[in-house]
Structure 1
Amino acid sequence: MMAVLFDFSGTLFRIESTESWLRAVLDEAEISLPEPELTQAAKALQVAGALPGGADPAQLPEDLAEMWRIRDQSAELHRAAYTGLSRQVRLPDPELHNALYDRHMTPDAWTPYPDAAEVLYGLCERGIGIGVVSNIGWDLRPIFREHGLDRYVDAYVLSYEHGIQKPDPRLFAAACEALEVDPRDTLMVGDDRRADGGAAALGCRVHFVDHLPAAERPDGLRPVLDLTD
């Protein structure tokens, strides 16, 4: 195995809880809500699917359906799709919807899985190239830098920078090209069987992990070391 490609959200990093997300934005705006109201609003945002990296919408509004389908193809579509979902929930100030979107792009909103650094380090020690291939609408590189993981990554291939999204094989091909490796010598690691499974069309091997809270998946990435041994 010459290279490993990793998905971002739900694979190497996990987004904070919806309640933590909302609470942080309210604190920043110096807006206080009674606990029952805050809890209710957080649950409503979760059901709406408003937190990128969190749960999908329980019911997708018809007017957002097409935008949702292609949301990862540009920064503008990504923001519009998620703030559109957020606005299904009434909040004390309409500006909070944009603030919530901005919050999710900050390093504080993300936690690396407990074994992420160990696995990335182990791959680097073996001389295996590492790429991050993500369906996303913003630059995640600062997240990796802030958490000390950027040093291990040789290439980032982000959907919004290419105008295409997984499972389109062209995104995985771009990553293999950036790493100068043959797809047949490459392993794709992700949590989404449809999106990340698209790498198989190029001849990549694919390994799936469970999209769980970080504390509930302490060693889900470690099998990657065995698969590349």
Structure 2
Amino acid sequence: MILDLFGTLVSAPSAVERSVAATRFAGTLRVSPAVAESALSDSWRARHDGQLRSTTEVAAHLVARCDAPASHMNKVEQLLAELARDRLRADASLLRVLKELRHGGVALAVLSDASPDIAEAWSRSDLAPHFDAAVFSCRVGAVKPAPQLFGAALEALGVGPKQALYCGDGGGDELAGAERAGIRAVRVERRGGPQGLAFGETAWPGGAIPEVEALPSLLSTWRDR
């Protein structure tokens, strides 16, 4: 099974949370919140598609984009790491279900459009021990719905597309991307509610579940058919 991260396993950030983060970056960089927000928004692709390979490189990029002193870089790097750690906090109910799935013999991979700070924080998160593989866009060098992302997840699990199920909230056209890769896909309602931000989402006519916690019941229903 391949699972999306933001909006699926953990809440997608809201506009308010993004604004708060931008304000924190602004304070660290000593620029206006508008300048910090612009730097974060304009650098999204570079942070997610492999152009920037580490948290240090992301920090240097943001410092340069904001025309801030290089002496601020260490504090920006620390803030990136802190925010990444916070964003990877998972609900206890979700962790229980992941444990149940693995104990039931389901191999799990996470597949996410993620920046290096998220990729580097992953191994220290409560989520990581429940997964057999993690595929991040910044490591593959492409963002959803690029087929190489789904191929990398299948390869990491050692399965073919017909043996896999993809579950995500639909951002980045991921569900259609999974189906184009030959993987059955199911939509999950966005974790964190409708205020959670998602980009590149398209209409989904296929199956849907209310939350990841419903996956064991879904799999049981399929097995009984």
Q: Is TM > 0.5 for Structure 1 vs Structure 2?
A: yes
Residue number in structure 1 paired with 2:50? 74
Which residue type is aligned with residue 140 of structure 2? H
Query: Residues 212 and 227 from structure 1, CA distance in 2 versus in 1: closer, same or farther, beyond 3 angstroms?
Result: closer
Partner of 2:206: none
2:112 aligned partner: 134
| 1:155 aligned partner | 133
Q: Deviations over 1:95-118 (max 9, x none)?
A: 67666544433x134321453202
Instruction: Give the secondary-structure state (helix, strand or coil) at the position aligned to 2:109.
Output: strand
Letter in 2 for 1:6: L
* Aligned equivalents of 1:94, 1:139: Cα separation in 2: 17
What is the root-mean-square deviation in Å for CA atoms of aligned residues? 4.1
Paired amino acid for 1:163: G
Alpha-carbon spacing, 1:110–1:26, altered in 2? closer, same or farther (3 Å):
farther
**Matches of residues 25-40 of structure 1 in structure 2 within 5 Å?**
none
1:184, 1:202 within 8 Å by CA — same for their partners in 2?
Answer: no
Q: Percent identity?
A: 23
- Do the aligned partners of residues 87 and 70 (structure 1) sit closer, same or farther apart at CA in structure 2, a change above 3 Å counting? closer
Q: How does 1:33-112 map to 2 (within 5 A)?
A: 41=33, 48=38, 50=40, 64=42, 68-69=44-45, 71-74=47-50, 76=52, 79=58, 83=62, 87=66, 100-105=79-84, 107-112=85-90
Contact map agreement 1:9 1:15 (CA 8 A) in 2: yes
Give the distance between the partners of 1:149 and 1:102, measured in 2 at CA: 16
Deviation at 1:179, TM superposition (A): 0.9
Q: TM-score, normalised by structure 1?
A: 0.64
Pick aligned residue for 1:190 from 150, 168, 171: 168
Which whole-Å CA distance do the structure 2 matches of 1:211 and 1:150 have between them?
A: 21
Q: How many residues align?
A: 195
Cα distance in 1 between the residues matched to 2:35 and 2:211? 28
Q: Distance in 2 between matches of 1:102 and 1:150?
A: 16
Does the 8 Å contact 1:11/1:190 carry over to 2?
yes
Q: Is the counterpart of residue 213 in structure 1 residue 210 in structure 2?
A: no
Structure 2 portions without partners, runs of 5+: 197-209, 221-225
Does residue 196 of structure 2 align to residue 228 of structure 1?
no
Structure that is richer in helix per residue: 2
> Counterparts of 1:75 and 1:13 in 2: how far apart (Å)?
25
Structure 1's unaligned 5+ residue stretches are 32-39, 51-56, 58-63
1:205–1:154 CA distance, 2 compared to 1 (3 A): same
Following TM superposition, by how much is the alpha carbon of 1:157 offset from its aligned partner in structure 2, in angstroms?
Answer: 1.3
SS in 2 for 1:124: helix
